[in-house]
Amino acid sequence: NLWFATDSGLTYYNGKGFKYFGKESGLNFLALTSLTEDKNNHLWIGTMGGGVFKYDGKTFKNYTSDNGLSGNIVYSLLCDDRNNIWIGTGRGVDRFDQSDSTITHYGKLEGFWGIENNQGAAYKDREGRLWFGTISGVNCYAPNSEMANKIAPQTYITGLNIFFKKASLLPNAKLGYNKNRLTFDFIGISFANPSLVRYRYFLDGFDKGWSPVTAKREITYSNLPPGKYTFKVKACNNDRVWNIKPASYSFEILSPFWRTWWFILISISILSTVIFSSYKIHIKNIESEKKLLETNVQERTKELFKEKEKVKKTYLALLNSEEKLKFLMANVNAYLWSANVDENKNVTHTLYTEGVYKITGYRAEEFKGSDGIQWINLVHPADIKSFQNTVNKLLGGQTISNSYRIRKKDGQLRWVNDNATPIKNADGRVVQINGICTDITEIKQAELALQESEEKFRTLAETATSAIFISKKIIQYVNPAAVEISGYSEQELLKMQFLDIVHPDFKEIIKSKRIFRPEENSEPFRYEVKILAKDGTERWIDLTAKAILFKGKTAALGTA
Q: Region 234-240: what's the mean pLDDT?
A: 87
Residue from 526, 388, 548 nearest 454 by CA: 548
| Range scoring the smallest mean pLDDT among 50-59, 210-219, 522-531 | 522-531
For residue 100, the model assigns a pLDDT of 86
143 and 125 in contact (C-beta within 8 Å)? no
> Domains of the chain: which residue ranges?
2-145, 154-258, 334-444, 464-559
- Does CATH place domain 464-559 in 3.30.450.20? yes
Average pLDDT, the chain: 85
* SS3 state at 267: helix
182 and 162 in contact (C-beta within 8 Å)? yes
Tell me how far apart the terminal alpha carbons of the chain are, to the nearest angstrom.
109
For residue 307, the model assigns a pLDDT of 75
Task: Answer with the residue of higher pLDDT: 99 or 229.
Answer: 229
Task: Give the integer Cα–Cα distance in Å for 25 and 111.
Answer: 39
238 pLDDT above the threshold of 90: no
For residue 332, the model assigns a pLDDT of 64
Predicted model pTM = 0.37
428 pLDDT above the threshold of 70: yes
Burial of 73 (0-12, 13-18, 19+ CB in 10 A): buried
Which CATH class for the 154-258 domain?
mainly beta
Strand pairing class (154-162; 182-189) = antiparallel
What pLDDT digit, counting tens, does each position of 464-507 carry? Answer: 778 888 887 888 888 888 888 888 998 998 889 888 888 898 88
For 44, list phi and psi in degrees, rounded to 5: -115, 130
| Range scoring the smallest mean pLDDT among 243-257, 288-302, 409-423 | 288-302
Categorize the per-residue pLDDT at 318 as very low, low, confident or very high, splitting at 50, 70 and 90.
low
What pLDDT digit, counting tens, does each position of 371-415 carry? Answer: 667 788 889 999 999 888 988 998 888 998 888 999 988 989 989
Burial of 351 (0-12, 13-18, 19+ CB in 10 A): middle
Q: Region 161-171: what's the mean pLDDT?
A: 92
What pLDDT digit, counting tens, does each position of 456-466 carry? Answer: 777 777 777 78
Fold match, 154-258 / 464-559 = no
Q: Region 539-549: what's the mean pLDDT?
A: 81
Task: Answer with the residue of higher pLDDT: 142 or 250.
Answer: 250
Q: Which amino acid is present at 177? A: Y
What pLDDT digit, counting tens, does each position of 57-81 carry? Answer: 999 999 999 998 999 999 999 999 9
Share of the chain above pLDDT 90, in %: 38
For residue 326, the model assigns a pLDDT of 60
Domain formed by 2-145, architecture: 7 Propeller (2.130)
For residue 196, the model assigns a pLDDT of 81
Task: Give the integer Cα–Cα distance in Å for 280 and 283.
Answer: 5
13 pLDDT above the threshold of 90: yes
Task: Give the integer Cα–Cα distance in Å for 106 and 312.
Answer: 108
207 pLDDT above the threshold of 60: yes
Q: Region 140-156: what's the mean pLDDT?
A: 82
Task: Give the integer Cα–Cα distance in Å for 216 and 411.
Answer: 99
Categorize the per-residue pLDDT at 365 as very low, low, confident or very high, splitting at 50, 70 and 90.
confident
CATH of 334-444, one of 3.40.50.300, 3.40.50.620, 3.40.1010.20, 3.30.450.20: 3.30.450.20
Task: Give the integer Cα–Cα distance in Å for 347 and 339.
Answer: 6
Residue from 436, 346, 363, 449 nearest 399 by CA: 436
Categorize the per-residue pLDDT at 547 as very low, low, confident or very high, splitting at 50, 70 and 90.
confident
For residue 473, the model assigns a pLDDT of 81
146 pLDDT above the threshold of 70: no
